[in-house]
């Protein structure tokens, strides 16, 4: 078992070391206004980057573009970032002593803004781990922030929705009503929809850059498999009783229903897991010339986190970690002692929590995984104590539902 866990650990480290995001065909514009065709490492950024990696040739060396050397970069027919010197409000709460605590606190910064809509009116987005901001420009004019701020006092949240007045004053199209403006929230979907209608109402060309509307995916997968306890499990009696029962390791059946919520950033490389799993195990041990029987039938409720490494469009490596609560549903799990040495003949089995790590290969709807479970005590709160060697599982998966939440 130690050899198997060591192998799994090495497999995970190797997967992290060698897995990489694919370089895709793109371009950048340098400070001399020259457009350079290249291959860009698509990180599917959730937060706006300050730099990016690229190769001039697909098999060439990796170089770095940043706010000092690049005016614009993007992938062909996909995302686009522009280098802009803008005013941005990074405050997330009221400023003590300010004349008006609802006013934004602007500072001027050079940023890569993501282009969301291009046309007569342009919409840009910026997001960090603390804030989300939007900006606009008309044709080739300067870029301005769309005003928005939240101030929380106790349980009350007050909002400065000045961006609505800006839409009314600067970006009003024919037949726009104040009721429509008031219904717009400071979100990418609402603002993109408004800017799209604005541009269409004035004719001309328009490009909707943020065309891939990402949402979470709920995958449901059936996960049958085989458990292997390669070493024996030992059970001791308490209260000074030195009796010892050594149950032999064997193979047993398991089946689970895995629910995976794919997180919509970083190219869907992360997933949150919940996998109710039925485990079955039965083994015998010698007891005073007779045979003791241990029967384990339980429904466990592991929760975990998964990380994918893309090989190609259909194939991914992945690894995951789980915590398995001790609140498993034990279904007629017992230890039968055909002797009076340890007291009564039949005792119920409970358990403590434990953990698991695993890694595998995902191909279209199918997956194959190896997983190692750490030790746990099967007799928590009873007159017995156990030393269960961690089990090793081989799990086959079939994904039968993939539901999108936009």
Most confident by average pLDDT, 164-178, 237-251, 254-268, 347-361: 164-178
**pLDDT given at position 89:** 93
pLDDT at 1: 46
Largest CA distance in the chain: 94
Q: Are 129 and 277 within one domain?
A: no
Residue 35 shares a structural domain with residue 150: yes
Please check whether residues 244 and 373 belong to one and the same domain.
yes
Please report whether residue 321 resides in a domain: yes
Out of 208, 226, 257, a domain closes at 208
Percent of the chain with pLDDT over 70: 78
Q: Is the dihedral of CA 362, 368, 374, 376 positive or negative?
A: positive
Q: Are 136 and 162 part of one and the same domain?
A: yes
Residue 179 within any structural domain of the chain: yes
Buried b (16+ CB within 10 A) or exposed e, 318-344: bbbbbebeeebebeebbbebeeeebee
DSSP 21-60: PPEEEEEEEETT--EEEEEEE----SS--SEEEEESSTTS
Do 124 and 146 belong together in one domain?
Answer: yes
Among 62, 58, 80, CA closest to 70: 80
Q: Over range 302-318, report the average pLDDT.
A: 89
Q: Which of 116-125, 288-297, 330-339, 375-384 has the highest mean pLDDT?
A: 116-125
Domain span including residue 179: 21-208
In a domain, 1, yes or no: no
Kindly state whether residues 161 and 284 are assigned to the same domain: no
Residues in a beta bridge with 384: 237
If asked whether residues 28 and 122 sit together in one domain, one would say yes
- Averaged over 392-402, what is the pLDDT? 92
Q: Report pLDDT digits (tens) over 184-223.
A: 999 999 999 999 999 999 887 777 776 555 678 899 999 9
Question: Which range, of 104-113, 281-290, 299-308, 348-357, averages the lowest pLDDT?
Answer: 281-290
Query: Looking at the domain assignment, is residue 12 inside a domain?
Result: no
Q: Is 3 within a domain?
A: no
Q: Using DSSP, state whether 223 is helix, strand or coil.
A: strand
Supply the pTM of this predicted model: 0.65
Please name which of 227, 183, 233 lies closest in space to residue 393, comparing C-alpha atoms: 227
Query: Both 383 and 323 in a single domain?
Result: yes
Residue with structure tokens 């992945």? Answer: 318
Q: State whether residue 367 is helix, strand or coil.
A: strand
242 pLDDT tier (thresholds 50, 70, 90): very low
By C-alpha distance, which of 287, 289, 281 is closest to 235?
287
Please name the residues in contact with 328: beta carbons below 8 A apart, sequence gap of 6 or more: 298, 299, 300, 301, 351
Q: At which of 176, 208, 240 does a domain end?
A: 208
pLDDT of residue 36: 96
262: domain CATH number? 2.40.160
How many structural domains compose the chain?
2
Residue 146 lies in a domain: yes
Cα 289 to Cα 285: distance, rounded to the nearest angstrom: 10
Q: Is residue 150 part of a domain?
A: yes
244 domain-assigned: yes
Same domain, residue pair 156 and 264: no
Between 207 and 183, residue with greater pLDDT: 183
Residue pLDDT, tens place only, 354-380:
899 999 999 989 999 999 988 877 766
Residue labelled with tokens 């050397």: 69
The per-residue pLDDT for 288 is 63
pLDDT given at position 240 = 43
The values of phi and psi at residue 32, to 5°, are -95, 15
Q: Name the average pLDDT for the chain.
A: 82
Cα-based angle 114, 120, 123 (whole degrees, multiple of 5): 25
Assess whether 244 and 334 both reside in one domain.
yes
pLDDT tens string 82-101: 999 999 998 876 555 555 67
**269: nearest Cα among 11, 20, 31:** 20
Of the residues 170, 188, 208, the one at which a domain ends: 208
**pLDDT, tens only, 98-137:** 556 778 889 999 999 999 999 999 999 999 988 899 999 9
Query: Are 144 and 237 members of one domain?
Result: no
- For residue range 42-62, what is the model confidence (pLDDT) as tens digits? 888 889 999 999 999 988 999
For residue 372, the cross-strand partners are: 357, 392
Which range (16-30, 111-125, 126-140, 154-168) has the least confidence? 16-30
Q: Are residues 184 and 283 located together in one domain of the fold?
A: no
Q: 267 or 347: whose pLDDT is higher?
A: 267
pLDDT of residue 116: 94
Retrieve residue 296's tokens: 């384990």
Q: What are phi and psi of 256, to 5 degrees?
A: -135, 165
């Amino acid at each position: 078992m130690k050899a198997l866990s060591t192998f799994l650990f090495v497999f995970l480290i190797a997967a992290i070391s060698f897995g990489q995001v694919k370089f895709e065909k793109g371009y950048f514009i340098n400070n001399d206004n020259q457009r350079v065709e290249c291959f860009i490492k698509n990180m599917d950024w959730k937060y706006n980057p300050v730099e990016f990696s690229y190769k001039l040739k697909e098999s060439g060396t990796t170089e770095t573009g940043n706010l000092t050397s690049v005016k614009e970069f993007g992938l062909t027919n996909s995302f686009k970032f522009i280098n802009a010197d803008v005013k941005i409000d990074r405050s997330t709460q009221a400023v003590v002593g300010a004349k008006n605590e609802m006013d934004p606190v602007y500072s001027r910064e050079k940023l890569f803004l993501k282009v969301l809509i291009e046309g007569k009116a342009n919409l840009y987005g910026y997001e960090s781990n603390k804030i989300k901001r939007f900006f606009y420009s008309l044709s080739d004019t300067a870029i301005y922030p769309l005003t928005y701020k939240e101030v929380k006092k106790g349980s009350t949240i007050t909002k400065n929705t000045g961006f609505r007045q800006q839409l009314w004053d600067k970006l009003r199209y024919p037949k726009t009503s104040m009721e429509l403006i008031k219904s717009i929230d400071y979100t990418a979907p609402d603002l993109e929809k408004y800017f799209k209608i604005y541009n269409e109402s004035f004719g001309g060309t328009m490009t909707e850059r943020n065309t891939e509307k990402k949402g979470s995916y709920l995958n449901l997968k059936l996960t049958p498999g085989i458990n292997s306890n390669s070493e024996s499990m030992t059970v001791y009696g308490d209260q000074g009783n030195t009796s010892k029962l050594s149950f032999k390791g064997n193979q047993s059946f398991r089946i689970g229903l895995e629910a995976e919520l794919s997180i919509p950033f970083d190219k869907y490389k992360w997933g949150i897991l919940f996998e109710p799993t039925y485990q079955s195990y039965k083994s015998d041990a010698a007891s005073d010339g007779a045979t003791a029987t241990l029967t384990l039938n339980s429904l466990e409720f592991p929760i975990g986190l998964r990380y994918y490494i893309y090989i190609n469009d259909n194939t991914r490596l992945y690894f995951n970690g789980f915590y398995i609560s001790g609140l498993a549903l034990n279904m007629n799990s017992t230890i039968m002692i055909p002797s009076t040495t340890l007291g009564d003949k039949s005792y119920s089995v409970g358990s403590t929590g434990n953990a698991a790590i695993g890694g595998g290969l995902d191909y279209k709807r199918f997956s194959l995984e190896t997983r190692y479970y750490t030790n746990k005590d099967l007799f928590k709160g009873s007159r017995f104590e156990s030393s269960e060697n961690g089990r090793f599982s081989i799990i086959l998966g079939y994904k039968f539902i993939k539901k999108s939440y936009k």
